[in-house]
Homo-oligomer: A and B are copies of this chain.
């Protein structure tokens, strides 16, 4: 357990705020939500909500304030590039009621980057050094221009490779809770054939979260994965056994009929 881990069974929650017209128009297909979901689950943070909003100041500020007041962390993606439609940093400053200005270290990072790859540190690129007051920079090992962290909000790029590098930077500093453990049980039955009995198992095991996910098996046809989740390994094991026993009983009954 790392020094940053919380007390056992503490729940650390998070939301993701995806910012960008291009996702809502369908032009760009989001690849960040699923990645962040996997990542947070693995380190013991519960992703509770995702919102996607357009490049619109009011929409961004309203969503950010709703989410940051409700969850332990908010991770934003998109809108921190060098062009006029990149308005995330300004919106974050507005939401927090702080000023925004060129951050000396961010300017330095961009200068170093331009010296290295050959490019002009023009007005557009300098926009990427504008950081809300009080924010800490989040390093970007891929392309230089940093993200930032203010309050409980972590502001990352929308380009997946850069977002992923930024997440790696902040992850060791995040408070994490007790991991939600999970077990997947392949039912080899249709969802509708086990639904009633599964509901009874779920009711009898309130400390486990039991989900049912239909899928199509190329050979067997409609099939079901039952996923049991709990923060307590023993309760997880008990619920898993209960699901397995239920499946045996249901199948025995079907074969008797």
The chain A residues found within 8 Å of chain B, CB to CB, are: 18, 21-30, 33-35, 37-41, 46-55, 59, 81-86, 119-120, 122-125, 127-128, 159, 180, 182, 190-196, 198-199, 202-203, 209-214, 227, 229
Contacts and interface: CB of A to CB of B under 8 A. Distances in A.
Number of copies: 2
A210 B196 CA distance: 52
A3 B55 CA distance: 32
Given A25-B182, A84-B212, 12 more contacts: A25-B47, A28-B213, A49-B52, A81-B214, A83-B212, A119-B192, A122-B196, A124-B198, A124-B199, A125-B192, A125-B195, A159-B214
B85 A212 contact: yes
Q: Is the interface of A mostly helix, strand, loop or mixed?
A: mixed
A161 to B, nearest CB: 9
Given A124-B192, A124-B196, A84 B202 contact: yes
B24 A30 contact: no
22 contacts: A23-B37, A24-B46, A24-B50, A25-B37, A25-B47, A25-B182, A25-B229, A26-B40, A30-B34, A49-B53, A50-B50, A82-B191, A82-B192, A83-B198, A84-B198, A119-B192, A119-B193, A120-B193, A122-B196, A124-B193, A125-B192, A159-B214
